[in-house]
Each structure stands twice: as C-alpha cells, then as structure tokens.
Amino acid sequence: MISSPYKRAVQTIEPYAKDTGLSLHIDKRLEERRLSGQPLFNWIEVLKRTFDDIDFKVDGGESTKEATVRVLELFKEVMNEKQKTTLFVTHGNLMTLILRYFDPKFGFGEWSRLTNPDVYHIDLQKKNVSITRLWNEQKTN
C-alpha cells in the first residue's frame, strides 16, 4: 500500500493497514495536483480547461501533463517490482489523471462524478487494461 502523505489520505487507509497487517508506504508523488499557487475564484473552470489542454497551467500550478508524469514515475517503479497487487491512496484529481492514462475517456466529467471515498481497480494483467469501479460512497447508503 502506498499513500499520499496528506493527513486525510493516511487516516483513510490506516485502519485497513492495521486490520490486514500490510505495511503502508508514503510517497509524495501521490499528493493531489496543485491547480494554482493561490486561491482561484474560478477553479472549476480552470480545472476543466486543464483536462481539455494538458499543457495548460496557472501560476504556481501543475499541468495535467506534469502531474501525470509525476505519478506515472511511481507506477512504473511499482510495476518493475513485479508486485501482484498494489493499493494506491490518492486524491480525486490525481486519481482521474491516473485513470485517464489507462483509459482516455476519463476526464472532467468523470472527475465531477467521483465520490469521497471512491475505489477503482486497474487490471494491467490482461492484454487490454480494464478499469472497474469497485466502491463509492453512494453504495454505503
């Protein structure tokens, strides 16, 4: 299990780590993408534009391309370790970029429909990568 260092991510996965006895590793590459260095009143429009133009970014922010490259470095390292299964704990925007890398249909619309929390399974063992939504907050009600 590898988690973003953000407190809410670690607190979300810690009970599962304790219950299973699996070790939890922290990796900064799973931090949420920084959209801007300053608060934005129009952050939703800026976020949508970053999905339409992967090189677009505002001052102090990270483009879609930059954030994707950052997190894919971690994915490639993990895949080289030949782990059968790895659990990644991250944040909605970055998770959508990960999903988008494996399936280009994921974009702003899919991001807007995420729940908190949300769980996806990416199967890289098959010839064609498959993505399955396993769990989301709405299933608990």
Check if CATH label 3.40.50.1240 holds for domain 2-140.
yes
The residue ranges of every structural domain in the chain are 2-140
Task: Tell me how far apart the alpha carbons of residues 14 and 92 are, in angstroms, rounded to a whole number.
Answer: 19
Helix axes 64-80, 92-102, angle to 10 degrees: 70
**Selected residue with higher pLDDT from 139 and 107:** 107
- What is the average pLDDT across 65-71? 98
Q: For residue 79, what pLDDT is reported?
A: 84
Task: Tell me how far apart the alpha carbons of residues 64 and 52 are, in angstroms, rounded to a whole number.
Answer: 9
**Residue 141 confidence class, pLDDT cut points 50, 70, 90:** very low
Those residues whose C-beta lies under 8 Å from the C-beta of residue 2, and which sit 6 or more positions away, are 24, 25, 26, 27, 30, 74, 78, 86, 87, 88, 89
Residues 77-92 pLDDT 10s = 998 887 788 999 999 9
**Selected residue with higher pLDDT from 125 and 133:** 133
Q: Is the CB of residue 110 less than 8 Å from the CB of residue 90? A: no
Residues 37-64 pLDDT 10s = 999 999 999 999 999 999 999 999 999 9
- What is the average pLDDT across 109-113? 95
Task: Tell me how far apart the alpha carbons of residues 123 and 126 are, in angstroms, rounded to a whole number.
Answer: 7
